[in-house]
């Protein structure tokens, strides 16, 4: 059974999340105090929902503290609307965000989309210069070293790499990574690609090319 962890100081929101997701067959664990999180149990979860505004430790700080321990999707649940703050969440390892107030249908659809992408099986490994993509593991390597990407960052790399030399707009990449019904803004793609480039440049490579006025391609 798929296990989901939801952390929010608003017990009403937590109960809404529990009812919505348990009806889809997920096992949902609720926490209203992020300071009580048991880090040793994080590997049990296939997806984590984090409220941004929480006392004691906000969702961004919590994401920073757990991202190196888990590789499952992390979705922020937030009332924040400032693009800079939303981009900060993606920059520290979040995969997506759901804006409050949200509908049950949107919550279910967003969670299901990330879990489908997580479960999609691939059977091969491709080599592009110094970069290798393991489509089974959904990991990217430079030589023998793994480049630690979030799920969304990896999905962008895989999409561009498998269609190398083709140019894709931010909107097209957004639709592929997050689905047609996403409410995420295409500026999220800009932030993700900035993060990907920073991680790859540590290995002296930059395979994602900006085609000005159009979008991006894998060289």
Residues 85 and 161 in one domain: no
pLDDT value at position 3?
94
Residues 109, 86 share a domain: yes
> What are the residues whose beta carbons fall under 8 Å from the beta carbon of 209, sequence distance 6 or more?
216, 217, 218, 219
Last residue of a domain, one of 70, 99, 119: 119
Pairing mode of beta strands 125-128, 3-7? unpaired
The label of the residue with tokens 């957004």 reads: 174
Domain match, 135 and 84 both: no
Please report the beta strands in the chain, taking only residues with DSSP state E, as ranges in sequence order. Answer: 3-7, 27-31, 47-51, 74-78, 96-99, 125-128, 131-134, 139-142, 145-147, 208-211, 215-218
Do 25 and 90 fall into the same domain? yes
Angle between helices 187-201 and 151-162 (to 10 degrees): 90
State the residue range of the domain holding 143: 125-218
Distance of CA 140 to the CA centre of its chain: 15
pTM for the model stands at 0.60
Q: Do residue 174 and residue 72 come from a single domain? A: no
The verdict on 13 and 100 lying in the same domain is: yes
Domain end point (choices 100, 119, 138)? 119
Structural domain count, the chain: 2
16 with 115, same domain: the answer is yes
Write down the pLDDT at residue 154.
94
| CATH number of the structural domain spanning residue 153 | 1.10.10.10
Q: Are residues 38 and 89 in the same domain?
A: yes
The per-residue pLDDT for 32 is 95
Do 29 and 90 lie in one domain? The reply is yes
Token digits of residue 91: 């920059």
Backbone angles phi, psi at 217, to 5 degrees: -150, 160
What integer pLDDT is reported at residue 93 of this predicted model? 85
- Which residues in the chain come in under a pLDDT of 50? 121-123
Q: Among 119, 140, 157, give the residue marking a domain's end.
A: 119
Write down the residue that tokens 């400032």 correspond to.
82
Give me 32's structure tokens.
Answer: 């209203």
The pLDDT value recorded for residue 121 is 45
Residue 115 shares a structural domain with residue 23? yes
């Amino acid at each position: 059974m798929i296990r989901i962890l939801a952390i929010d100081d608003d017990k009403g929101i937590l109960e809404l999340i529990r009812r919505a997701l348990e009806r889809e067959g997920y096992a949902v664990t609720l926490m209203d105090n992020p300071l009580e999180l048991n880090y040793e149990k994080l590997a049990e979860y296939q997806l984590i929902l984090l409220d941004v505004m929480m006392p004691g430790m906000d969702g961004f700080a919590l994401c920073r503290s757990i991202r190196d321990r888990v590789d499952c999707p992390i979705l922020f649940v937030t009332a924040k609307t400032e693009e800079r703050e939303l981009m900060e969440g993606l920059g520290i390892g979040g995969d997506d965000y759901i804006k409050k107030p949200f509908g049950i249908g949107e919550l279910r659809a967003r969670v299901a989309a990330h879990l489908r992408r997580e479960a999609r099986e691939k059977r091969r490994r491709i080599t592009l210069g110094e970069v290798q993509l393991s489509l089974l593991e959904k990991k990217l390597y430079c030589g023998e070293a793994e480049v630690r990407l979030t799920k969304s960052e990896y999905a962008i790399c895989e999409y561009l790499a498998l269609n190398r030399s083709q140019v894709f707009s931010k909107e097209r990449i957004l639709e592929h990574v997050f689905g047609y019904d996403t409410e995420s803004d295409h500026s999220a793609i800009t932030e993700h690609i900035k993060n990907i480039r920073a991680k790859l440049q540590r290995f002296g490579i930059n395979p994602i090319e900006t085609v000005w006025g159009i979008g991006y391609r894998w060289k």
